[in-house]
Amino acid sequence: MSPFQLTRTLPENATDAALRADVRQGLTRTPKTLPPKWFYDARGSELFEEITALPEYYPTRAEREILVARADDIAEATRARTLIELGSGSSEKTRHLLDALPGLISYIPVDVSGTALTAAADALLAERPQLAVHALIADFTRELALPASPGPRLVVFLGGTIGNLLPPERAGFLRSVRDLLQPGDHLLLGTDLVKDESVLVPAYDDATGVTAAFNKNVLSVIARELGADFDPADFDHVAVWDRENEWIEMRLRARRAFTVKIPELQLVVPFAAGEEIRTEVSAKFRQERVRTELDAAGLSLHHWWTDPDGRFALSLSGPPARP
């Protein structure tokens, strides 16, 4: 058997159909919204990599610190033979876990980008030719069917990406993950933690404007894919802390009144001066909130690790053991 397999569970036209539906629904509602997944074309992915290196953007560094410090503890607690990574991207941070799991046989990265999956697999197999990699082109927010793999299995969802899901979406996602797990399997979840607004807002509104370019890139994606006549210069990047919901919102604020034509949707979208599009929610968590949401999904919190500054957390949970 080849050490690398690539399986598509996402229909070929699913991405285009989803973009059309999201743009039509999001830009005809009040207030206007766009899902953050549309940031990540090739240019958006490059910009996000730049963001992770910015001094203001602590989550990537903080999560990596925990992975480096606790990889052996995670390996001891899980004894995983299969590692499943949701939203794997480049699989860069996952290497700390791959190195720490001596009994690992199989790695299943899941991402919507076949190009990213293939590039990551090539790099991993050059270093670990004995590892079986079965990559899935799939949307992990939908029902997910995994290939047969040896247990125990460890599902990892890193980067604080779960914070991009609204509470009902998070609940559904965690239930779907729970449905994948057998007794003895685990979920390793990365969550950004609640902290002072003076730390949070600059992480999403850096002084050099990289995050602003990343936010505006969603307009370029819609222009390229759907023929929209968006001009990113017509919008300001805005990041605000919602104290009640304990999340950051990224928005694009119209600098003047104008209309945008989207020919592929036969849609004309009016904007008033100052009107905003919400492009991302990034929820921040407290330990009890994570525990409560895991419990509601049928998962028990076993371990909770933070970086030394208490900025970010990794939690390890699993389904109840069979009686």
Q: Model's pTM, two decimal places? A: 0.93
Give me the residues of the chain with pLDDT under 50, please. 1
Q: What is the DSSP string of 1-70?
A: --SEEEEE-S-TTHHHHHHHHHHHHHHSSSSEE--GGGG-SHHHHHHHHHHHTSTT--HHHHHHHHHHHH
Element (H, E) at 300: strand 300-306
Domain 57-196+284-318: which topology?
Rossmann fold (3.40.50)
Q: Is the peptide bond before 319 cis (omega within 30 degrees of 0)?
A: no
The set of residues, in sequence order, having a beta carbon less than 8 Å from that of 78 and lying 6+ positions away, is 101, 152, 154, 186, 188, 316
Residue 249 main-chain phi, psi, to 5 deg: -115, 130
pLDDT of 1:
45
| Beta strands 276-283; 32-33: pairing state | parallel
pLDDT of 56:
97
pLDDT digits (tens, 9 = 90+) for 273-317: 999 999 999 999 999 999 999 999 999 999 999 999 999 999 999
pLDDT digits (tens, 9 = 90+) for 106-131: 999 888 777 778 888 888 888 888 88
